[in-house]
Structure 1
């Protein structure tokens, strides 16, 4: 998954939402409008580029008049931008919010990643679903001179990475397929799965066991083990990666247990920070 480096110096977003489902009311008009606005932003992010109001209506189930009103407000606030083609893209104000959230998330994750490095001896990562890619938002490197290194902020494909596969497994099959088709499935190594049907068939097993393994699919000779961080508004995953000679298949159960413990602790911390503790 991550690139092997002999250098001694270390290196949603969109969440998923079910297409065609109207955001429930369940509150005041203001709360309902806020929920619907967030839904539209998430659908725009999942679209991976320009989107027309008609597509937002089809995927959200909301009336076109409602969408037009909400989008007009988002444009006025700078969260959405209208193109000359009269299609819409996410606006520049979201960049600042996203960077601030990623920095904050990285700060929360660092102690958990450090403990994973202490426990496993290998590089620990936090990654987040970002459209049809996964982006690394935090990392603590192994202390070995030969270690795995991926630049924080790097976006990689979903189909050939442990974090990508474990996040795909959390999505509805139709959404997972759409992301795979849109993002492409290039062969990174001879072990890379490039057929969407074959990978989609693996996802229920990954979801059931609660972890994914990148077994030389992104980088030959590298093994990565990943688990999802449960709950929360962002789709994130923790991983441990290293040379396959040090991260053996026999080590996977122990690493999964350590990752799951760290993921649960991080989820609880994030939930408490948001005022909604994970139970």
Structure 2
């Protein structure tokens, strides 16, 4: 059956259930799935039965439903594809600027790091590939948020509660909205000790990527100074354009 959006309704509904589980932290009850999706319980039961059979969902002993290993396999393949496309540019950024370069994707109300090239310094920043971080307190996260409209930003703020990583983290939705306006105006985001004290990060959006993507450079604040942006941002923008063009061709 076709949906009003032109897609296949059954597929859209199954994806909706997976996304709801993701939004709720990876698992959900039948009542939560019904409340959020607006679907009747018999429909949800039918869809979940297929998702469980195919390994994209699983039923926990508590009778909650959780994401299954099939989702992880798809996510891993997608992440490796993005990482492979970005690897040469990340290495170029790290070699040119001497600091760690990262690529991150928007994953609902979080950002997930999918690729990295390490700093040439012995003292460097390590962000584990596959790590998920909150959007409001990271350079890549704020850059990804800047691509959303205000209603979406406020909804993410409501769902996550904007938990502070440090005392410098953005604390409220109004402050976040104002910061995103500044980011859009200058075209890049800054994390100034908001995720980790003593670390500064600059991030830009990757234009033309099939999903919201950001590229960043980060390092100790003593080396990655505010003035470092004059050198770093043009390098990041050039690399981001090349990554976007590469991803668009895949």
Instruction: Tell me the TM-score range normalised by the shorter chain.
Output: 0.7 to 0.9
Where does residue 55 of structure 2 map in the other structure? 78
Q: Partners of 2:185 and 2:16 in 1: how far apart?
A: 28
CA distance in 1, matches of 2:74, 2:35: 27
TM-score scaled by length of structure 1: 0.74
Q: Does 1:218 align with 2:195?
A: yes
Q: Equivalents in 1 of 2:9, 2:241: separation in Å?
A: 30
Deviation track 1:82-111 (CA, whole Å, cap 9, x = no partner) reads 446654322221112222222232222210
Who is 2:114 aligned against? 137
Tell me the residue number matched to 1:96: 73
RMSD in angstroms over aligned alpha carbons?
A: 3.0
Unaligned runs of 5+ in 1: 1-21, 274-279
Any conservation in 2 of the 1:47–1:131 contact (CA below 8 Å)? no
What is the SS of the residue equivalent to 1:147? Answer: coil
Deviation of residue 270 (structure 1)?
1.6
Q: How far did residue 63 of structure 1 move?
A: 6.9
What is the CA deviation profile of residues 9-63 of structure 1, one whole-angstrom value per residue up to 9, with x for unaligned ones? Answer: xxxxxxxxxxxxx964426xxx453344334423332232333556556655667
Which residue pairs with 2:141 in the alignment?
164
- 1:99-118 counterparts in 2 under 5 A? 99-118=76-95
Alignment TM-score, normalising by the size of structure 2: 0.82
How many residue pairs align between the two structures? Answer: 249
Report if the CA contact (8 A) 1:227-1:237 is conserved: yes
Is residue 26 from structure 1 mapped to residue 26 from structure 2 by the alignment? no
